[in-house]
Chain A
Amino acid sequence: MAAAAAGAGSGPWAAQEKQFPPALLSFFIYNPRFGPREGQENKILFYHPNEVEKNEKIRNVGLCEAIVQFTRTFSPSKPAKSLHTQKNRQFFNEPEENFWMVMVVRNPIIEKQSKDGKPVIEYQEEELLDKVYSSVLRQCYSMYKLFNGTFLKAMEDGGVKLLKERLEKFFHRYLQTLHLQSCDLLDIFGGISFFPLDKMTYLKIQSFINRMEESLNIVKYTAFLYNDQLIWSGLEQDDMRILYKYLTTSLFPRHIEPELAGRDSPIRAEMPGNLQHYGRFLTGPLNLNDPDAKCRFPKIFVNTDDTYEELHLIVYKAMSAAVCFMIDASVHPTLDFCRRLDSIVGPQLTVLASDICEQFNINKRMSGSEKEPQFKFIYFNHMNLAEKSTVHMRKTPSVSLTSVHPDLMKILGDINSDFTRVDEDEEIIVKAMSDYWVVGKKSDRRELYVILNQKNANLIEVNEEVKKLCATQFNNIFFLD
Chain B
Amino acid sequence: MGEEDYYLELCERPVQFEKANPVNCVFFDEANKQVFAVRSGGATGVVVKGPDDRNPISFRMDDKGEVKCIKFSLENKILAVQRTSKTVDFCNFIPDNSQLEYTQECKTKNANILGFCWTSSTEIVFITDQGIEFYQVLPEKRSLKLLKSHNLNVNWYMYCPESAVILLSTTVLENVLQPFHFRAGTMSKLPKFEIELPAAPKSTKPSLSERDIAMATIYGQLYVLFLRHHSRTSNSTGAEVVLYHLPREGACKKMHILKLNRTGKFALNVVDNLVVVHHQDTETSVIFDIKLRGEFDGSVTFHHPVLPARSIQPYQIPITGPAAVTSQSPVPCKLYSSSWIVFQPDIIISASQGYLWNLQVKLEPIVNLLPDKGRLMDFLLQRKECKMVILSVCSQMLSESDRASLPVIATVFDKLNHEYKKYLDAEQSYAMAVEAGQSRSSPLLKRPVRTQAVLDQSDVYTHVLSAFVEKKMPHKFVIAVLMEYIRSLNQFQIAVQHYLHELVIKTLVQHNLFYMLHQFLQYHVLSDSKPLACLLLSLESFYPPAHQLSLDMLKRLSTANDEIVEVLLSKHQVLAALRFIRGIGGHDNISARKFLDAAKQTEDNMLFYTIFRFFEQRNQRLRGSPNFTPGEHCEEHVAFFKQIFGDQALMRPTTF
Contacts and interface: CB of A to CB of B under 8 A. Distances in A.
Q: Do A and B bind each other?
A: yes
Interface of A: 194, 197, 199-200, 202-204, 206-207, 210-211, 213-215, 232-234, 236-237, 381, 383-384, 386, 425, 443-446, 476-478, 480-481
Given A197-B523, A425-B576, A478-B548, A210 B480 contact: yes
B235 interface: no
A480 B545 contact: no
A203 B525 contact: yes
Contacts of A386: 522
Contact of B406 (A199, A211, A476): A211
B59 interface: no
Contact of A481 (B483, B556, B583): B583
Contact of A478 (B484, B518, B555): B555
Interface string B527-557: 0000000000000000011011101101110
Contacts, number: 85
Contact of B551 (A197, A206, A210, A478): A478
A477 B483 contact: no
Nearest to A231: B523
Contact of B552 (A194, A236, A477, A480): A477
Contact of A203 (B490, B545, B579): B490
A204 B555 contact: no
A203 B524 contact: no
B522 A194 contact: yes
A204 B487 contact: yes
A478 B552 contact: yes
Contacts of A210: 406, 476, 479-480, 483-484
A207 B552 contact: no
B268 interface: no
Contact of B548 (A202, A425, A445): A445
A204 B488 CA distance: 9
Given A202-B525, A214-B480, A384 B545 contact: yes
Nearest to A215: B405
A194 B573 CA distance: 29
Contacts of B552: 476-478
Contacts of B551: 444, 478
B580 interface: yes
Given A211-B407, A478-B564, A199 B524 contact: yes
Contacts of B573: 425
A177 to B, nearest CB: 28
B515 interface: yes
Interface in B149-200: none
13 contacts: A197-B523, A200-B487, A200-B491, A203-B486, A207-B487, A210-B476, A210-B483, A232-B519, A381-B548, A444-B548, A444-B551, A476-B552, A476-B556
Nearest to B553: A478
Contacts of A234: 516
A246 B471 CA distance: 39
Nearest to B548: A383
Contact of A200 (B410, B490, B547): B490
A480 B579 contact: yes
Nearest to B579: A480
A481 B581 CA distance: 11
Interface string B389-415: 000000000000000011100100000
Contacts of B564: 478
Residue of A204, A211, A383 ringed by the most chain B CB atoms within 10 A: A383
Contacts of B515: 233, 236-237
Contacts of B516: 234
Contacts of A478: 548, 551-552, 554-555, 564
Given A203-B525, A207-B484, A211-B407, A233 B519 contact: yes
Contacts of A233: 515, 519
A214 B579 CA distance: 49
Given A383-B518, A481-B583, 19 more contacts: A194-B522, A197-B523, A199-B523, A199-B525, A200-B487, A202-B525, A203-B487, A204-B487, A207-B487, A210-B483, A214-B406, A214-B480, A383-B545, A383-B548, A425-B573, A478-B548, A478-B552, A478-B555, A480-B583
A206 B483 contact: yes
A236 B519 CA distance: 11
Given A199-B523, A386-B522, A476 B555 contact: yes
B523 A477 contact: no
A194 B518 CA distance: 13
Nearest to B551: A478
A39 B545 CA distance: 49
Contacts of B524: 199
Contacts of B545: 383-384, 445
Contacts of A207: 406, 410, 483-484, 487
Interface string B619-651: 000000000000000000000000000000000
Interface in B563-579: 564, 573, 576, 579
A200 B525 CA distance: 8
A238 B581 CA distance: 36
User: Which 7 residue pairs across A and B have the least CB separation, nearest first?
Assistant: A210-B480, A383-B545, A203-B487, A478-B551, A478-B555, A202-B523, A477-B552
Contacts of A443: 576
A443 B480 CA distance: 35
Given A199-B490, A200-B491, A481 B519 contact: no
A443 B410 CA distance: 41
Contacts of A383: 518, 544-545, 548-549
B273 to A, nearest CB: 33
Contacts of A446: 548
A194 B580 CA distance: 28
A234 to B, nearest CB: 8
Contacts of B490: 199-200, 203
A384 B518 contact: yes
A203 B483 contact: yes
A386 B548 CA distance: 13
A234 B519 CA distance: 10
B406 A206 contact: no
Contacts of A206: 483, 487, 525
B405 A214 contact: yes
Contacts of A211: 406-407
A345 to B, nearest CB: 14
Contacts of B523: 197, 199, 202
A476 B515 CA distance: 20
Interface string B465-508: 00000000000110110011011001100000000000000000
Nearest to A232: B519
A118 B490 CA distance: 73
A435 B144 CA distance: 104
Contacts of B519: 232-233, 384
A34 B406 CA distance: 54
A427 B508 CA distance: 36
Contacts of A477: 552, 555
A211 B421 CA distance: 25
A4 to B, nearest CB: 43
A466 to B, nearest CB: 13
Contacts of A213: 476, 480
Nearest to B549: A383
Residue of B405, B518, B519, B579 ringed by the most chain A CB atoms within 10 A: B519
B402 to A, nearest CB: 16
A425 to B, nearest CB: 6
Contacts of B555: 476-478
A383 B544 CA distance: 8
Contacts of A194: 522
B213 to A, nearest CB: 48
Nearest to A236: B515
A433 B602 CA distance: 40
Contacts of B484: 207, 210
A215 B407 CA distance: 10
Contacts of B525: 199, 202-203, 206
A202 B490 CA distance: 11
A107 to B, nearest CB: 38
